[in-house]
Structure 1
Amino acid sequence: MLDQARYFMHRPGDEFTAAVWLDGWEHQSLWGWELGYYFLQLWRNDARTDKPFLWLTPADRPLLTSSGSVALAIARTTGADPLDISRALQILPPPALRSPIPTIEGELASLGKSPNDDYCAGQIAAYEWALGRRDIRPGSGSPWRGGAPSLDEVTAEWNMNTGYLNDPLLQNRPHASGVDEALGTIVFDATDG
């Protein structure tokens, strides 16, 4: 059975190479940490070449500086769901550390009803999504099926958003930073991070 938490909160510096267990890409695809950065090699399962479909090394720009950056690169290449990508990279919280998503009504109430800046708007978007009140995911910007997400789904969105924060072409960094703080708070509170 796949350990979906093997690289959760990976500490940069610990070198590794691991498979990417994403359906349709899992036969040869790899990711890992070496030379101070993450790398990624994606092959479609039906590929008939030795050249990967996508190959990002520590020499490429922008650098893959987090597991979220790797997840975002996979999402942009494959169009896969953020949760499927986080599972494939094994970057979800370990079951032994999980508790229910903490009550976040207080966090949301403290921000007020109308945000006065993009950072607060990002926090509000993330908290409202986590409560099942938004139909757009705050990290990936993709449509949401509705209802409150699981902790794994919150973590997957946090991974996507972390990838965006490391993208030098990000348009609204304050909004993404607010989303990052809110989703990170939920994940850390639920895992005693």
Structure 2
Amino acid sequence: MSTSANSRNHNARPGYQLHDAIDLLGWEDQSIWGWDEGTSSFFAQLWRNGSSSEAPEIWLTGARKPYPWPGCIALDIVELIEADPLAVVQALGIADPEPALRSEDDIARHADQLTSLNDRSEYIGGQLAALTWTRGQSELTLSTRAPWDQGRPSAARADAEHHLITGRVYLGGDPVHGGSFFNGADEALWWTLGR
């Protein structure tokens, strides 16, 4: 899949008239996603390849749970089928076309500045967790708490994590961390990606 295909929906926002395929290996034959005006939400319908069912195996709809941002859809797909976050972000076409990470030294300096604030809020904790992960010094990903032993993530993988974190922000956090933690992580990843 070309970079342009991975980024065809990069600018998708609420209200964006979108109805597109989900090019995820093993699910790409029939699966779709897009914006539903009726529920003011993104949606996704996923069928495993070879399925003859009329009903999707996974149906993410704003009628059951609001999906106000593309990252919300990406996050739930990752968690429901235990898929690779980068593969899902690329399959939805929402990947940054030219992702870049700040240098490890810049990230370390920023983390040191935050640590010197002596602020123990969840918001700062989320920022520090994101900076630690982007430096390759965390054993878990931020968004799904999946094991991470791959060192410093690539810019494309950090961009995918940012999509999932933004999804967490819009969905209100998770049972371990509240929304404030993910707001901090979202801001730090935004900065780390040079945005």
Superposition TM-score tier, normalisation by shorter sequence:
0.7 to 0.9
SS at match of 2:35: strand
Q: Distance in 1 between matches of 2:49 and 2:167?
A: 25
SS at match of 2:19: strand
Aligned match of 2:165 in 156, 161, 179? Answer: 161
Unaligned ranges ≥5, structure 2:
none
Is the CA contact (8 Å cut-off) linking 1:140 and 1:157 kept in structure 2?
Answer: no
1:181 counterpart residue number: 187
SS at match of 1:40: strand
CA shift in 2, pair 1:169/1:121, >3 Å: closer
Identity of aligned residues (%): 33
Query: 1:120 and 2:124 equivalent?
Result: yes
Q: Distance in 1 between matches of 2:13 and 2:134?
A: 26
CA shift in 2, pair 1:16/1:49, >3 Å: same
Query: 1:20 and 2:5 equivalent?
Result: no
1:7 counterpart residue number: 9
Deviation at 1:117, TM superposition (A): 1.3
2:102 counterpart residue number: 101
Deviation at 1:34, TM superposition (A): 2.8
Unaligned ranges ≥5, structure 1:
none
Deviation at 1:57, TM superposition (A): 2.7
Q: Distance in 1 between matches of 2:77 and 2:8?
A: 18
Larger CA deviation: 145-154 vs 99-108: 99-108
SS at match of 2:171: coil
Q: Distance in 2 between matches of 1:71 and 1:11?
A: 14
Aligned match of 2:35 in 30, 33, 44? Answer: 33
Deviation at 1:91, TM superposition (A): 1.3
2:69 counterpart residue number: 66
Q: Distance in 1 between matches of 2:173 and 2:148?
A: 24
Is the CA contact (8 Å cut-off) linking 2:101 and 2:192 kept in structure 1?
Answer: no
**Aligned AA for 1:119?**
Y
Larger CA deviation: 36-45 vs 107-116: 107-116
- What is the TM-score when the length of structure 1 is the normalising length? 0.88
Deviation at 1:169, TM superposition (A): 6.6
Deviation at 1:168, TM superposition (A): 4.5
**Aligned AA for 2:22?**
V
CA shift in 2, pair 1:151/1:169, >3 Å: closer
Query: 1:134 and 2:134 equivalent?
Result: no
Q: Distance in 1 between matches of 2:28 and 2:150?
A: 29
CA shift in 2, pair 1:152/1:135, >3 Å: same
Is the CA contact (8 Å cut-off) linking 1:139 and 1:179 kept in structure 2?
Answer: no
* Deviations 1:34-57 (CA, angstroms, capped at 9, x unpaired): 303211101111322111011223
RMSD, matched Cα: 1.8
Query: 1:47 and 2:51 equivalent?
Result: yes
Is the CA contact (8 Å cut-off) linking 2:135 and 2:152 kept in structure 1?
Answer: yes
Aligned residues, how many? 186
